[in-house]
């Protein structure tokens, strides 16, 4: 926008110089093209590099996008960043949030069908506080690589982090429990008070009767879970007060707060194999119940008694010669319409495994028929159930199974449900019967006659004693003097012997001249031996002394 001083007279479009179209290409013009070529090369190589290094893009759907930010939230595996969230959007059916993420190429092989993703936030569970790093570093998405073979690019994220990740070695088992108690996901599993695993999940069984708990026991502790291992609730504090004193038992403070499960393999005659993955176990209420019930087969029987069952409670033991083989489960009074009598029906639970057959074979597959036959045979020999008194003071009763000789024949009624075992009337009645018998026997004893006989025997005894006394006196007067003379002879002989011994002793005494001479000789001999020894040592060290003679001491 500057002024130009031009000559007047120029028209609008005249005198415009022709633009010089320069078509010459000289070297400098070629050189300049180097610049764009170089720029192109650089640009292309960068672009190709970026394209090649790009890894796969995956989508993960979560219920909520809390904490996930585009371009910021990272995906980490074992705390190493392997991806970045690129986009967060709501799914088309508005039920979930779809997170699109770019994964680095190196980590592309981790995208397997059972790879799991979850959002790592600061989280306080009952047993631990995790993810505190996210308070400062921002939330991230954690990953657990699966082991399947097929790849996948669309995943569904977990809402909570998995309790156990795939790469932790160990085994999972399933426990059946009556109720959950204070257990929860993450509750610890203890073995000998050592935490060896966690509860992974819980759900109600399909029939609604039991809770199925899936637990995980870490290696190497999983090898302690055998096929006959018992699991029990170890939550809270076990407190018992009995004749032995107060007992407080708890696994750990953690289990008091969180609930916990403990397990132990009962000592048994045979060692069972290790339990396989996903084996089912029962979860017992406490340790006593668990250890005491090494049973998997249970048989129910009914016992009919016609006497009073006062003192018998549900849970009272069924005893076979001192071993508890079952317990009472139901007690009912029934009226038999036919005979119009009141029968006490007691239902018991019987664990046949507590009675092992002597053949020693494991009884896992014992056929029910076999046990029936066995029981029938036993009943034929007098195997019955009886109510016995457990404690005379309280009047507690229990059911005793035993062989009773001389009982009327009976048979197990297998048609009933449950089958009916024959019984024998109980303790008190029998006691009364026995007492009566004893009293009767006592009555029959001929006591007066016995008394008379006894008196006669005593008198005879008296006379015998008197004659013995006379005999002794005889001995004393006649036999004794002769013996006395004999004794004096003996004494004289002994004196002579004594004198001879004394002389010998004198000869041998320490200052007898013979001894002194002997001692001197010995001493001389000793000295000679020592000189010889010295000579020998010297000669060993200086053998040339034999020829040259002893050297002077050179110090």
CB of 9 to another protein, least distance (A): 9
Based on CB atoms, which residue is closest to another protein, 1 or 129?
1
- Cα–Cα–Cα angle for 477, 478, 481, rounded to 5 degrees: 90
Q: CB of 156 within 8 A of CB of 61? A: yes
CB of 58 to another protein, least distance (A): 21
**What SS3 class is residue 247?**
strand
Based on CB atoms, which residue is closest to another protein, 18 or 203?
18
Q: Which residues pair with 366 in a beta bridge?
A: none
Counting Cα atoms < 13 Å in the Cβ hemisphere of 154 gives 3
> What's the gap between Cα 404 and its chain centre?
41
CB of 230 to another protein, least distance (A): 48
Based on CB atoms, which residue is closest to another protein, 26 or 455?
26
CB of 1 to another protein, least distance (A): 5
Residue 118 has which token pair?
Answer: 């979850």
Based on CB atoms, which residue is closest to another protein, 139 or 229?
139
CB of 291 to another protein, least distance (A): 51
Contact residues toward another protein (CB under 8 A) are 1-6, 8, 10-13, 16-23, 25-26, 28-29, 32-33, 35-36, 38-40, 42-43, 46-47, 50, 71-72, 135-138
- Cα–Cα–Cα angle for 209, 249, 124, rounded to 5 degrees: 65
Name 167's Cβ contacts closer than 8 Å, sequence gap at least 6: 144, 145
Based on CB atoms, which residue is closest to another protein, 81 or 308?
81
Counting Cβ atoms within 10 Å, is residue 439 exposed (0-12), middle (13-18) or buried (19+)? exposed
The Cα-based distances of 290 to 99, 262, 366, 471 in angstroms read 48, 10, 23, 78
CB of 71 to another protein, least distance (A): 8
> Roughly how many angstroms between the first and final C-alpha of the chain, as a whole number?
123
Based on CB atoms, which residue is closest to another protein, 8 or 536?
8
CB of 290 to another protein, least distance (A): 48
Label each residue of 451-489 as H, E or C: HHHHHHHHHHHHHHHHHHHHHHHHHHHHHHHHHHHHHHH
CB of 220 to another protein, least distance (A): 34
Radius of gyration, alpha carbons of the chain:
53
Based on CB atoms, which residue is closest to another protein, 9 or 208?
9
Residue 83 has which token pair?
Answer: 């991806």
Q: CB of 398 within 8 A of CB of 390? A: yes
Based on CB atoms, which residue is closest to another protein, 8 or 446?
8
Could you identify the residue written with the tokens 């457990």?
A: 390
Residue 255 has which token pair?
Answer: 């289990």
Based on CB atoms, which residue is closest to another protein, 73 or 115?
73
CB of 53 to another protein, least distance (A): 12
């Amino acid at each position: 926008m500057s002024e130009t001083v031009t000559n007047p007279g120029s028209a609008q479009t005249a005198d415009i110089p022709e633009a010089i179209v320069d078509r010459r290409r000289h070297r400098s013009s070629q050189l300049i093209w180097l610049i764009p070529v170089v720029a192109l090369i650089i640009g292309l190589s960068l672009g190709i590099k970026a394209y090649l290094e790009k890894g796969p893009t995956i989508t993960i759907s979560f219920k909520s996008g809390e904490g996930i930010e585009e371009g910021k939230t990272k995906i980490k595996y074992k705390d190493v960043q392997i991806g970045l969230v690129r986009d967060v959007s709501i799914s088309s059916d508005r039920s979930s949030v779809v997170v699109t993420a770019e994964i680095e190429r190196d980590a592309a092989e981790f995208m397997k069908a059972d790879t799991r993703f979850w959002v790592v936030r600061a989280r306080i569970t009952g047993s631990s506080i995790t993810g505190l790093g996210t308070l400062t570093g921002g939330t991230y998405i954690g990953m657990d690589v699966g082991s399947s073979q097929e790849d996948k690019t669309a995943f569904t994220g977990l809402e909570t982090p998995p309790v156990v990740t795939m790469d932790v070695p160990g085994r999972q088992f399933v426990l059946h429990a009556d109720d959950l108690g204070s257990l929860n996901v993450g509750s610890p599993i203890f073995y000998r008070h050592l935490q060896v695993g966690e509860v992974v999940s819980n759900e109600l069984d399909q029939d609604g009767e039991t809770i199925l708990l899936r637990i995980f026991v870490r290696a190497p502790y999983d090898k302690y879970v055998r096929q006959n291992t018992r699991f029990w609730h170890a939550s809270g504090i076990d407190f018992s007060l009995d004749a032995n004193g107060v007992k407080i038992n708890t696994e750990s403070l953690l289990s008091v707060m969180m609930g916990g499960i403990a397990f132990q393999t009962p000592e048994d005659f045979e060692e069972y194999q290790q339990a396989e993955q996903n084996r089912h176990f029962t979860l017992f209420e406490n340790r006593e119940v668990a250890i005491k019930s090494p049973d998997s087969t249970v048989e129910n029987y009914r016992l009919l008694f016609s006497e009073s069952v006062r003192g018998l409670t549900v849970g009272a033991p069924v005893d076979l010669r001192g071993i508890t083989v079952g317990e009472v489960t139901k007690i009912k009074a029934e009226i038999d319409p036919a005979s119009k009598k009141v029968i006490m029906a007691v239902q018991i639970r019987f664990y046949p495994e507590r009675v092992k057959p002597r053949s020693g074979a494991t009884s896992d597959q014992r056929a029910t028929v076999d046990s029936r036959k066995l029981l029938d045979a036993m009943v034929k020999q007098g195997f019955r159930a009886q109510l016995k008194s457990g404690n005379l003071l309280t009047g507690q009763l229990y059911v005793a199974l035993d062989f009773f000789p001389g009982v009327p024949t009976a048979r197990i009624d297998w048609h009933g449900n449950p089958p009916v075992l024959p019984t024998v009337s109980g303790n008190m009645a029998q006691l009364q019967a026995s007492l009566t018998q004893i009293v009767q026997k006592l009555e029959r004893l001929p006591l007066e006659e016995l008394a008379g006989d006894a008196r006669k025997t005593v008198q005879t005894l008296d006379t015998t004693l008197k004659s013995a006394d006379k005999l002794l006196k005889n001995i004393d007067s006649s036999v004794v003097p002769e013996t006395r003379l004999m004794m004096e002879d003996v004494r004289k002989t002994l004196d002579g012997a004594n004198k001879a011994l004394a002389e010998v002793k004198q000869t041998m005494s320490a200052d007898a001249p013979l001894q002194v001479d002997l001692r001197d000789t010995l001493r001389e001999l000793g000295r000679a031996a020592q000189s010889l020894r010295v000579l020998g040592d010297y000669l060993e060290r200086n053998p040339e002394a034999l020829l040259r003679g002893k050297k002077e001491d050179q110090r």
